[in-house]
Structure 1
């Protein structure tokens, strides 16, 4: 039985105790709900992988209550300090070299010499992290490869009975995972994952960013780099300009495709921030309508590329990627 905790001082204290004792607690951030475990305890990190059915070679982001706490685990360069001052707390993850005395387990970092760290935004989550007093590894609180949760009820739909508790902090305001920026070579900042911080805002401080290609044969350097990820059970068709009677429609803008049997409009006004916040809820809703409307797939209208559109497109490309077969799974 998974306990649902209110985001009160008592609920936060209970959640912190569970985490320090090696248990798993899902909690809301400004991006999505994370599935937290004490990053310094390998057994707790292993429980995260088990609860999510997550591939072992995908490293986890460690969360902290402050930049000062995060920078005890990684070697911060001047650019990292500048970005942290500008965007933390907030939806930005920095990948930096681990310090020699880092207490984050090798399992959380997948044995890499680097570590992904961030300071999330939200009074309740920061209070929780402060109370834990240790790095908290927290991938999205869903089964691996499935739709990320933006509400406590989404967490319970997938992980009820598999984790100890969920700290209900309400709906996520951003609704899209953090931007992941690799600063292990500060002369070449590299965008590993678009997310809640638009690229244009980062480039004001960083200059042009590098964009590595995802290689299906290579273990990812950061979370969210799996080719098939954020996937509903139905196949996803991108940039749709027409729709079949067997497809649900993920629309965007004031003119959704006509004749869809069921539609979720990310933003009728074409607002990309609204679209990002509603993306995972929309995929989850349409997937739930499969039996009702006898759907065989989902069609997605084109999304602009500017601002948060890049991050939205990244998630949708991964949702539409070929799914691994049972023989391919580790």
Structure 2
């Protein structure tokens, strides 16, 4: 049956899968809720979005996504508080970054109302899929790709914007060991590193697998020319604590402007933590590990929020981080997740009420 919600057409599924899902044992991003939002770009304009049952997509083999990789995405979460209220965290940051990424890949930008009202409608329809268990959330994946056909190396003339959602538990458990990469690069000056382009992640898989084969779980990326400077940790921004100072690299053509990253910077400063946004050399990290001033190393991103790093490898030598009773990572993670789940005051105005 087709209905209108927030002026958006909604076609509801005839049979929900929700009763077949074990919400107490959710793996990240492997179970999908009943509906998705779909919006098509044709003849020079975005058509009205529509919420429909989650389903397969049919594309021609000549669709340009398969040949030239025009694809960008975002990662968000919806949270349900103890009273059943539904919240998003800084959704306009995701909307703006999706369009920044789209522009870089010559993809038409999405209208704000289609993104925000479409997402709100989808969450209203699938609100029962938002878990309330501690550490769980509804992961939201907005993405845009070239559906137009043709083998000529040029931008497509048709695109699809889709939002699908997945009830998920924690992304990571425990600390990880990383290898500092000195050969392969995630991105380069003038490239697309600052965009959430699918190809950025595809290019990480091979070097990461090489690190896994050596006994590490992830890599820390360094700059593309000298490999002297630390940039990102896997698919996350990276933070380094030396003594009582928290350091993170500045954003650039090569480094994603992470929403969790910028939120953690503001949160840390509000707690009186000294934060430095500057370039940091691998040699400075190694020296701090050797003299005992390196206290913490962690990645930050939407999926994991904060992922502590237990140790790192560099040029054939491993360095272990100390086991601390109280860490910036745990304090900041609790602070940000308490805001996200409506357990604490939000002095920054980050929380966005949906229902």
TM-score normalised by L of structure 2: 0.30
Higher strand share: 2
Higher Cα radius of gyration: 2
Higher helix share: 1
